[in-house]
Structure 1
Amino acid sequence: MQSDLFARGMLYLFLTVVGVPGNTAIILAFLLLLYQEKQLLPADAIVLHLASVNLLVVGVRSLLETLASFRLANIFSDVGCKAVIFVYRTSRSLSIWLTFVLSAYQCLSIAPPGSRWASFRTVVAHYFGVVFLCLWLINTCMSSAAVLFSFGAKNDSSQTTHSINVQFCYVHFPSKLSKEANGAAQVSRDVVPMALMTLCSVIILVFLYKHSRQVKGLRGNRSKQRAAKAVVALVTLYVVLYGVDNGLWVYTLTVRKTMRSPLISDLRIFFSSLYAALSPVIIIVSNRKVNGRLKCIVQEKPIEEKATSLCTA
């Protein structure tokens, strides 16, 4: 095996080992919560949805890239590349927008009771199903170019200067204009929620700073502060990793093909998948509902009244 393929396989293996169990654990924890309480709070529903799309990102991209790098399996034919890149781009962009929705909802959650923002939060929570549906439709449509322009790496007869090589697949655009338009759309799709979630995080941090002394010692407010800090941590992780990802994407679009290294595409995919792999760690550590139910699952205690009350608290 070539050394570069081995190194590439190890990187994606790391993402798979961290991301798949982490996101799966969050999904199981919230499904258990839903089974016990028959409903989920809006913030919990967002996190469950976020973990689901992150699992798609890691599973569809990192796991398959790992198998292909170690030559254990390879589905990257023309049809396989179209499917993998389409699902990856759709789930990746959904991960970005759901992180924004989570930060925006957390920002609304710190609004004083009775205020207009608190009333708006209630309205938004009521229509979360519509919000999720719109996000799926919009991001699915924006990823449709992957179906048209993605091909297997073995089918290299039509590669031109407008092609982007992603190791086992490549994306061939018919013209420079279509390539740049697609790239600009992807960057905009990332930058817009990045700016909005950064603004929400700044508002949350200002609130935490101003009210840290006033709410000291109050259990309910400590819980609200913990949730707010977790959201800020997720946003910070997103901004750093996707900032690097989009910087590499702009470089890919602007540099000549002859000067472009395949390593750039590998780094792009790695950094864009790293958020999906690491964000579950922040959620599990900071969310008491998640780690509490995971403890119940791991310990597998007998069904007793005491244990039941602990797991449903």
Structure 2
Amino acid sequence: MPSEEFVRGMLYLSLTVVGVPGNTAVILAFLLLFYQENRLLPADAIVLHLACVNLLVVGVRCLLETLASFSLASIFGDLGCKAVIFVYRTARSLSIWLTFVLSAYQCLSFAPPGSRWASIRAVVAHYLVFVFLFLWAVNTCMSSAAVLFSFGTERNSSLISHSINVQFCYVHFPSKLSKEANGAAQVGRDVVPMALMTLASLIILVLLYKHSKQVKGLRSSSGVSGGADRRAAKAVVTLVTLYVVLYGVDNGLWVYTLTVKTMTSSLISDLRIFFSSLYATLSPIIIIASNRKVNGRLRCAVQEKNVKKKASSLTADRS
């Protein structure tokens, strides 16, 4: 095996072994919470949805890239490339927009009761399912170019300047205009939520600063819920910061890919996928560390498993 493919395989493997269990743990924790309480708060539902699409990002792209790099599976034919790139791009963009929705909803949580912003927050919470459906519809449509232009092998050499090499697949655009239009649409789809979530995070930080000055030195029962709100807000700001850094690199590389006249090396594509998938891999770690509901449910599950093991071992010893 060439050293380049081995390094690529190990990088994708590292993302897979962290991202798949991490996002799966978050999903199971919220499903257990829903089973126990028969409901999920809107913020919890957004985080659950975010974990699901992040699992798609890591499971569909990184896992399959790992298998292909180590020659364990050959799935990147024309149909496989279309399916993988379509699902990856859709899940990736959904991850971005859900992070924005989470940051915006958390920002609205600081609105005083009875205000216009509090009313907007209530409307968003009530119609959250329709928000999810709208995001799925929009991002699915914007990823349709992957179905049309993705192939498992190189096509006409005259179109090489309009092509993108993504290692096991090639995206062949029929013209320079179509390539640039598709690229601009993807950049806009990322930059718009990036700007909005950055603005929301800055507002959260300002409100947290003002709130900390107001409650400084006070000890009351309301301080408990305020502390919970501050922890949730800080976790959201951390997720947004992680997103802006990693996806900023990703989009920078994507713009570079669009500006060069010849087909770029697959290394550029590997770096883009690595940085964008890194967010899907690290975000569940932040969620588990900062969300007490998730942390508590996972601890309970581990404790119950240990108790069952001890009980079964005692039963075996007695028998």
1:11 lines up with 2:11 in the alignment: yes
For 2:35 and 2:8, locate their aligned partners in 1 and report how far apart those are by CA, in whole Å.
Answer: 40
SS in 2 for 1:75: coil
Q: Which amino acid aligns with 1:5?
A: E
Secondary structure, counterpart of 1:213 in structure 2: helix
Any residues of structure 2 matched to 1:98-247 within 5 Å, and which? Answer: 98-153=98-153, 155-157=154-156, 160-216=160-216, 217=219, 218-247=223-252
Which of 295, 302, 305 is matched with 1:298 structurally?
Answer: 302
Shift of 1:214: 2.1
Indicate the SS of the match to 1:72.
coil
Structure 2, unpaired ranges of 5+: 309-319
SS in 2 for 1:221: helix
Q: TM-score, normalised by structure 2?
A: 0.92
**CA displacement at 1:262 relative to structure 2:** 2.2
* 1:272 aligns to 2:276 (yes or no): yes
Instruction: Calculate the TM-score normalised by the size of structure 1.
Output: 0.94
Matched with 2:317 is none
Residue 196 of structure 1 aligns to a residue whose secondary structure is: helix
5+ residue gaps, structure 1, are 304-313
Does the 8 Å contact 1:215/1:221 carry over to 2?
no
Count matched residues: 301
Aligned mates of 1:274, 1:21 — CA distance in 2: 14
What's the CA shift string for 1:140-160, capped at 9, x where partnerless?
A: 00000000000003x545652
The residue that corresponds to 1:311 in the other structure is none
Deviations 1:181-205 (A, max 9, x none): 0000000000000000000000000
Q: Which has the larger radius of gyration?
A: 2
Q: Could you say what the CA RMSD is over the residues aligned between the two structures, in angstroms?
A: 1.3
DSSP 3-state at the match of 1:171: strand
Looking at structure 1, the residues matched to 269 and 133 of structure 2 have their Cα atoms a distance apart, in angstroms, of: 31
- For the Cα contact (< 8 Å) 2:150–2:170, is it kept in 1? yes
Q: What is residue 20 of structure 1 aligned with on the other side? A: 20
The percentage of counterpart residues that share the same residue type is: 80
Does 1:251 find its partner at 2:263?
A: no
- 8 Å contact from structure 2 (residues 82, 146) kept in 1: yes
CA distance in 1, matches of 2:175, 2:277: 28
Is 2:91 the counterpart of 1:91?
A: yes
CA offsets, 1:105-138, max 9 Å, x none? 0000011122111111111100001100000000
Partner of 1:53: 53
- Contact 2:46–2:102 (8 Å) recurs in 1: yes
2:268 is equivalent to residue 283 of structure 1: no
- Tell me which amino acid in the other structure corresponds to 1:279: S
Asked if 1 retains the 8 angstrom alpha-carbon contact of 2:155 and 2:172, the reply is no
Partner of 2:311: none
Q: Is the 8 A contact 2:165 2:265 kept in 1?
A: no
